[in-house]
């Protein structure tokens, strides 16, 4: 898998021109959702770089990251003469970059694309690393391919229009990156003033967070080994997301990951000795900022069933990424059903539900 270029923008227009020039094309398409078309598209239209663009506007929210929306994008590409020599720009959050990247990877067996993430979650996670895909059959990211963008342009000015919930959704992935990297980075994230955001400092933290993911992806682009470190919190988190979708009460991905981190740090503590004080500090930050995902013991079996569908599993054995300590990663860890149910008990007890 080719390495994608990630650019922390100082001037978006200059970075976009550079990225487009590196992708000679016959037609240019830009995919947005209804929100990013309204809030973010004007900044691109203020340049002359996309004067002849074909716009594809899709419905927002993860519930629309599905085969129907993907088919709609394919149809517009086909109707407007897209070829494998065309170029797609994905302007939006993780839903847009995931689905738009998958559309680019599959239409005419693959065309070039550029990601311009507009949410914190997309900047530090979804748009970087080459994972694309859609939800299917009630399961998160069930269908997809590894297909990195030619370039990822990170313009943190977009974050000033982000609402509180979407800010914290992205910040959860940054906390994960802190946990799998260094204690210093973990500390500066847990002490970051989330009430009065210093966007200059946030840009520095975003750059550090992206670097953590880039370094891991470069070592293991197809997730055979150390890239599984990036799944911390996701085995349980994806199950929470799937349950919420089944109840028609979808939750933001980062919130599910934050709640999943609580569960998987507990497993880390009991199975590989993650320090209790660091577990408690992380849990306290999540409790203060993310609220609680409510479920009862009658739903343990359903959550367990969702976890059995996780793509990291082998032979029906649930696979976890755990931590011996901050930055000390233990991949390919397992837990039996009884221990997983005890993990759910711990979550409900410490979260007061």
Domain identity same for 51 and 147 = yes
CATH number at residue 180: 1.20.1090.10
- pLDDT above 90 as % of the chain: 89
Domain containing residue 341: 164-351
Domain identity same for 92 and 43 = yes
**By the 8 A CB rule, do 117 and 123 touch?**
yes
Domain identity same for 222 and 95 = no
Nearest to 349 by CA among 312, 275, 296: 296
* Model pLDDT, residue 50: 83
Q: Is 214 exposed, middle or buried (0-12, 13-18, 19+ CB in 10 A)?
A: middle
Domain identity same for 153 and 183 = no
Domain identity same for 84 and 43 = yes
* Model pLDDT, residue 49: 83
Rounded Cα distance between 95 and 62, Å, is 6
Nearest to 211 by CA among 232, 182, 238, 190: 182
Average pLDDT, the chain: 95
Nearest to 181 by CA among 130, 232, 121, 122: 232
* Model pLDDT, residue 1: 58
Q: Which of 161, 190, 213 is the last residue of a domain?
A: 161
* Model pLDDT, residue 163: 93
327 token code pair: 């930055």
- Residue 51's pLDDT band, with cuts at 50, 70 and 90, is confident
Domain identity same for 131 and 239 = no
For 79-117, write each residue's pLDDT tens digit. Answer: 999 999 999 999 999 999 999 999 999 999 999 999 999
Q: Kindly tell me if the per-residue pLDDT of 138 is higher than 90.
A: no
7 token code pair: 């650019």
Q: Which of 161, 188, 211 is the last residue of a domain?
A: 161
In the chain, how many domains are there?
Answer: 2
* Model pLDDT, residue 2: 61
Q: Kindly tell me if the per-residue pLDDT of 166 is higher than 80.
A: yes
For 241-290, write each residue's pLDDT tens digit. Answer: 999 989 999 999 999 999 999 999 999 999 999 999 999 999 999 999 99
CATH number at residue 85: 3.40.50.1970
* Model pLDDT, residue 310: 83
156 token code pair: 């943190």
Enclosing H/E stretch for 100: helix 94-106
Helix, strand counts (H, E) of the chain: 14, 10
Rounded Cα distance between 328 and 317, Å, is 23
213 token code pair: 């993911």
For 278-325, write each residue's pLDDT tens digit. Answer: 999 999 999 999 999 999 999 999 999 999 988 788 878 899 999 999
* Model pLDDT, residue 228: 94
Chain centroid to CA 59: how far?
A: 18
Rg of the chain in Å (alpha carbons) = 20
Domain identity same for 215 and 127 = no
227 token code pair: 């890239």
Q: Which of 140, 161, 182 is the last residue of a domain?
A: 161
Mean pLDDT on 17-41: 96
* Model pLDDT, residue 315: 74
For 183-238, write each residue's pLDDT tens digit. Answer: 999 999 999 999 999 999 999 999 999 999 999 999 999 999 999 999 999 999 99
Rounded Cα distance between 335 and 319, Å, is 8
Domain identity same for 208 and 131 = no
Domain identity same for 99 and 179 = no
Nearest to 7 by CA among 174, 150, 161: 150
Taken in order 258, 263, 266, 268, is the CA torsion positive or negative?
A: negative
Q: Kindly tell me if the per-residue pLDDT of 74 is higher than 90.
A: yes
Domain identity same for 157 and 34 = yes
* Model pLDDT, residue 28: 97
**By the 8 A CB rule, do 300 and 339 touch?**
no
292 token code pair: 């609680």
Domain identity same for 170 and 155 = no
**Residue holding tokens 């390919």?**
332
Domain identity same for 90 and 149 = yes
């Amino acid at each position: 898998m080719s390495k994608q270029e990630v650019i922390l923008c100082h001037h978006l227009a200059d970075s976009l021109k550079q990225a487009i020039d590196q992708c000679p094309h016959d037609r240019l398409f830009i995919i947005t959702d209804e929100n990013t078309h309204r809030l973010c598209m004007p900044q691109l239209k203020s340049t002359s770089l996309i004067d002849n663009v074909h716009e594809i506007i899709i419905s927002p929210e993860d519930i629309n990251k599905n085969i129907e929306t993907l088919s709609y994008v394919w149809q517009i590409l086909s109707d407007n003469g897209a070829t494998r020599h065309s170029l797609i720009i994905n302007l939006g959050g993780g839903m847009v970059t995931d689905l738009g990247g998958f559309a680019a990877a599959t239409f005419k067996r693959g065309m070039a694309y550029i990601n311009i993430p507009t949410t914190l979650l997309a900047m530090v996670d979804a748009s970087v690393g080459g994972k694309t895909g859609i939800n299917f059959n009630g399961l998160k990211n069930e269908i997809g391919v590894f297909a990195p963008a030619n370039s990822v342009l990170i313009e943190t000015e977009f974050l000033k229009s982000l609402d509180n919930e979407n800010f914290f959704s992205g910040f959860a992935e940054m906390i994960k990156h802190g946990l799998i990297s260094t204690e210093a980075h973990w500390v500066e994230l847990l002490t970051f003033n989330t009430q009065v955001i210093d966007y200059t400092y946030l840009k520095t933290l975003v750059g550090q967070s992206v670097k953590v993911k880039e370094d891991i992806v470069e070592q293991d682009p197809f997730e055979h080994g150390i890239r599984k470190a990036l799944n911390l919190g996701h085995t349980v988190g994806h199950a929470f997301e799937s349950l919420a979708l089944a109840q028609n009460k979808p939750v933001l991905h980062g919130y599910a990951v934050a709640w999943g981190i609580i569960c998987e740090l507990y497993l880390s503590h009991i199975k590989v000795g993650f320090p209790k004080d660091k577990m408690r500090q992380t849990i306290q930050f999540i409790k203060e900022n993310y609220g609680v995902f409510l479920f009862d013991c009658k739903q343990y079996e359903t959550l367990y069933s969702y976890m059995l569908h996780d793509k990291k599993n082998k032979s029906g054995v649930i696979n976890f990424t755990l931590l011996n300590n901050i930055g000390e990663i233990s991949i390919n860890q397992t837990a039996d059903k009884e221990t997983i149910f005890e993990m759910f008990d711990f979550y409900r007890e410490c979260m007061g539900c």
